[in-house]
Amino acid sequence: MRRVRSSNLILLVLTAVNVLIMGLLTALSPTFLSYGNLSAVMLRMSELSMLAIAETIVLIAGGFDLTIGAVMALSATVFGTLYVAGLPFPLLVILALASGVAVGLLNALLVVVLRLQPFIVTLATMSIVRSVVYWLLKGNVLSNLPEGFLNLGYLYVLKIPLLFLIVVAVAVLVFVLLRRTVIGRRIFAVGGNERTAFLSGIHEDRVKYLVYALSGLISAMAGLMYTARIRAVVPDMGITSPLEVITAVLIGGTAITGGKGSVLGSMLGILAMYLLLNGFNLLGLNPFWQTIILGVILIYVVGQENIVRGLRSFFGRRRVQQRRA
């Protein structure tokens, strides 16, 4: 019950923070609430929201995935290079998504079989996948892509971007998976205490293969969505995504130690981050400061308990010293 109240409190606080940010931006910039600006925010946050969903699943299971941005680039690269090679469109999509699943299964294999730390494993595979992307593209940008596919990036349904609706659909499906199925309960159990999950009859290794494969699949979908939005495949696609996504997911209440988190919280975290970035752009703030602010937020979110404990200890010692003096 305490966990439920805590998670609900985080969602309420995040909702209030988003409302506050929107109120401030509305007062500071008359163009913030324009349809053009809001639709642009929904478009730009679409692929990062997909990556946040992928990262949330892995973190809840007690894992870590730094390959999400590289997988996004890989799926787009596979799609673009195979299109140039003349393969049919349905096969392009299947192979692009399969490349993401393959990277996810490789991550799980190294974590499960070699018992390596997920952070180290995904850091290494991120570098490998990124190198493969650079090798396939040879530093070039692919823009000769199917026109019908590229048009999906700016297709609207009831004045809402199709890409954003895809994010909503995937978020709902993952929410149901995590909260309404046996598989979801097993994911939370493994993330909460792997030993206890094993003693309860849960095959924790199978859960790890599943969550990393899902992360790869959803990240690969994000790559196709990003390609449709910018109408090209670029080598550096998603290179800063891990910092942005992990920051937003942790802000949303997902525990870096596993066993706790929600898709809704991650979506609210992504929304808060993009509202801030959009506000920076509208107010003309130098992009240099945007990355610094994200880094500071990440440090605080990850270490907030230790920070608070350290401050209490510091001021407690100061009071003792003042009393003795």
Confidence of residue 313 (pLDDT cuts 50, 70, 90): low
Burial class (CB in 10 A: 0-12, 13-18, 19+), 218: buried
Q: What's the whole-number mean pLDDT along residues 153-164? A: 92
Please tell me the predicted confidence (pLDDT) of residue 284: 72
Rounded-to-10 torsion of CA 26, 31, 36, 42: -40
| 314 vs 122 pLDDT, higher one | 122
Band of residue 103 on the pLDDT scale cut at 50, 70, 90: very high
Using one digit for the tens of pLDDT, what is the confidence trace for 223-242?
999 999 999 999 999 998 88
Q: Tell me the CA end-to-end span of the chain in Å, nearest whole number.
A: 46
42-51, 117-126, 221-230, 285-294: segment of lowest average pLDDT: 285-294
Higher local confidence (pLDDT), 27 or 94: 94
Is the separation of the CB atoms in 55 and 62 below 8 Å? no
The distance from CA 225 to its chain's CA centroid, rounded to whole angstroms, is 14
The answer, yes or no, to whether residue 3 has pLDDT greater than 50, is: no
Predicted pLDDT at 309? 57
Q: Distance between CA 19 and CA 3 in Å, rounded? A: 24
Residues 6+ apart with CB under 8 A from 261: 56, 59, 60, 249, 252, 253, 254, 255
Higher-confidence residue: 44 or 323?
A: 44
Q: Report the 10 Å Cβ neighbour count for 155.
A: 11
Strands 160-161 and 156-157: antiparallel
Q: Residue 246 carries which side chain, given as an amino acid letter?
A: I
Full-model pTM: 0.88
Say yes or no to pLDDT of 292 above 80: no
Does 68 have pLDDT greater than 50? yes
76 falls in which pLDDT band (50, 70, 90)?
Answer: very high
| pLDDT band of 283, cuts 50, 70, 90 | confident
Mean pLDDT (whole number) for 37-43: 87
310 vs 45 pLDDT, higher one: 45
**For residue 288, pLDDT beyond 80:** no
Q: Mean pLDDT score of the chain, rounded to an integer?
A: 87
What pLDDT sits at residue 2? 47
- Confidence band for 290, pLDDT divided at 50, 70 and 90: low
pLDDT band at 4 (very low <50, low <70, confident <90, very high): very low
